[in-house]
Amino acid sequence: MRAESGRTKSLWHGTVGDLSRPTLESDARADVCIVGAGIAGMMTAYLLARAGRKVIVLDDGPIGGGETGRTTAHLSDALDDRYTDLERMHGADGARLAASSHRAAIQRIAQVVETESIDCDFAWVDGYLFPSGRDGEERLWEEMEAARRAGVAVEMAEDPPYEPFGGSMCLRFHRQGRVNSLKLLDGLALAVERCGGRIHTGTHVTAVHGGSPVRIETASGATVLASSCVTATNSPITDYVVTHVKQAPYRTFAIAARVPRQSVADALYWEDADPYIYIRVQPGESHDWLIVGGEDYKTGQKDDDAERLDRLAGWTRERFPMVEAVEYRWSGQVLEPADGLAFIGPNPDGAENVFIITGDSGHGMTHGTIGAMLLCDMVSGRENEWSKLYDPKRVRIGAAADLARENLNVAVQFGAWLLPGDVPDETDIPRGSGRVIRHGAHMLAVYRDDAGEVHQHNAACTHMKCIVNWNDLEKSWDCPCHGSRFGPTGDVLNGPAVKPLERPS
């Protein structure tokens, strides 16, 4: 089985038992094969299995080994791309549909939790958005008006239950949610299996060939034939270019601090900044957890992760004097679509009967659930009013500036081919760490393990040949272009790459 998507552990990892299942060892058939057992894949499998479809889920890690195990799991329709911007990019109807789809996703999660009696700490809570910067209050008023036009239940409030950002004026969004994401996946997996669905972990998918049926190939040689395939791999492995040039990978950081019970009101708190700080409470039996996230940067383009976590911890202690200890620190990756909304629908390269869910935009718990609801209808041939809004092929003129900026940034990354590398020689690499070294015309990703043994791979990402960078916190090679990630010894942790880093010739 491959490693999980990072070395750090989130608050959720210790709260569930083993989430692995037997690997796929022989050929199989299904109505729908779902690749990826995060929120998008497991919710899709659940809804289809409940509708009587024969489903098979394949994942190369354990269930929840990707970003869903690292989320902070705010369930929210207070979209962080802001309704003022969504209205500009998608029109008034688009903003209204975005709001109603996120609301429907929160309601669907609540309904599934109740129907299946999943013990996952789901609760309805309010969310508070605080202003930031000089014209922050003015922007907040505009955001309230735009959110209301989109049908969101929101009001200006002067009595937030806590004031982490140093001002009392804020927007209150009603009936948001929170959940323990891994307990939710655990419950979904058991429900899928009760409906006759199969889940295979430790099963790396190497190719998906569209058609009737779709043929899904795995690293062990076993194949699945299915009427449809949903690739819910977070970053699509079935689309080489189209969605990847319209979204950008960002690394984000989170900590969980122990606080006395009920010392911070159980709610969601956000700052209206970019990047912003996001906060929530996770009630416990003897104490509560305060979960604080932020400090985002573009994947593979900084190497100060430990300092970022320290800053987050310091900020938290300053604003929440009741913090007793910061016990968890972790990071993960989110994909930011240029126009703020996920890409859900037919695979953009036209592969027959293949569908994708991607573009979480920091709202992946709800975007993943929207994906499940929308694709459940598409696979069944039913109309869904959200399909145009989330169409993976869409281009929104209003997002052109963001699109150009991100793709210019990608182009700049190819300049790494001309650089000398991080260090001149492998003896400069500390144990348990990696560096890029130039070797003639080649760039090598060199990892020295804890025992001192050196592992060399070609540093060119197997997706589009950008040079990967070492991530010392998560012990991974991260691609600064489209977010592919590889373990220290080259195995794939995150798409769009499906092949490991190559051995040097």
Ligand X SMILES: Cc1cc2nc3c(=O)[nH]c(=O)nc-3n(C[C@H](O)[C@H](O)[C@H](O)COP(=O)(O)OP(=O)(O)OC[C@H]3O[C@@H](n4cnc5c(N)ncnc54)[C@H](O)[C@@H]3O)c2cc1C
Write out the residues near ligand X by the rule CB under 6 A: 35-41, 58-61, 65-68, 70-74, 204-205, 232-234, 237, 252, 254, 293, 332-334, 360, 362-366, 368, 495, 498
Instruction: Tell me phi and psi for residue 297, to 5 degrees.
Output: -145, 165
Q: Which is nearer to ligand X, 170 or 344 (CB)?
A: 344
Q: Compute the least distance from the CB of residue 60 to ligand X, in Å.
A: 4
Q: Compute the least distance from the CB of residue 383 to ligand X, in Å.
A: 24
Are the beta carbons of 324 and 287 closer than 8 angstroms? yes
Report d(CA 471, CA 475) in Å as an integer.
5
**Strands 55-58, 28-35: pairing kind:** parallel
Q: Compute the least distance from the CB of residue 33 to ligand X, in Å.
A: 11
Q: Which is nearer to ligand X, 472 or 491 (CB)?
A: 491
Q: Compute the least distance from the CB of residue 122 to ligand X, in Å.
A: 13
Report d(CA 503, CA 157) in Å as an integer.
58
Residue 153 corresponds to which tokens in the numbers above? 């239940």
Adjacent-strand bridge partners of 223: 217
Nearest alpha-carbon partner for 18 in 173, 152, 189: 189
Q: Look-up: residue for tokens 């890690």? A: 61
Q: Which is nearer to ligand X, 234 or 282 (CB)?
A: 234
Adjacent-strand bridge partners of 178: 74, 123
Are the beta carbons of 192 and 199 closer than 8 angstroms? yes
Q: Which is nearer to ligand X, 66 or 434 (CB)?
A: 66
Q: Which is nearer to ligand X, 13 or 442 (CB)?
A: 13
Report d(CA 65, CA 424) in Å as an integer.
35
DSSP state of 290: E
Strands (E), 347-453: 354-358, 433-439, 442-448
- Number of neighbours of residue 479 by Cβ within 10 angstroms: 27
Adjacent-strand bridge partners of 467: 460
Q: Which is nearer to ligand X, 73 or 154 (CB)?
A: 73
Q: Which is nearer to ligand X, 228 or 456 (CB)?
A: 228
Q: Which is nearer to ligand X, 221 or 420 (CB)?
A: 221
Nearest alpha-carbon partner for 26 in 231, 218, 232, 229: 218
Residue 336 corresponds to which tokens in the numbers above? 């930011």
Q: Which is nearer to ligand X, 233 or 299 (CB)?
A: 233
Q: Look-up: residue for tokens 């272009």? A: 481
Q: Compute the least distance from the CB of residue 38 to ligand X, in Å.
A: 2
Report d(CA 23, CA 32) in Å as an integer.
18
Q: Compute the least distance from the CB of residue 222 to ligand X, in Å.
A: 13
Q: Compute the least distance from the CB of residue 406 to ligand X, in Å.
A: 18
Adjacent-strand bridge partners of 357: 344
Residue whose Cβ sits closest to ligand X? 364
Q: Compute the least distance from the CB of residue 105 to ligand X, in Å.
A: 9
DSSP state of 65: -
Q: Which is nearer to ligand X, 61 or 340 (CB)?
A: 61
Q: Compute the least distance from the CB of residue 45 to ligand X, in Å.
A: 11
Nearest alpha-carbon partner for 363 in 161, 155, 86, 150: 86
Q: Compute the least distance from the CB of residue 71 to ligand X, in Å.
A: 3
Three-state DSSP at 150 gives coil
Q: Compute the least distance from the CB of residue 180 to ligand X, in Å.
A: 12
Q: Which is nearer to ligand X, 40 or 466 (CB)?
A: 40
DSSP state of 460: B
Adjacent-strand bridge partners of 297: 251
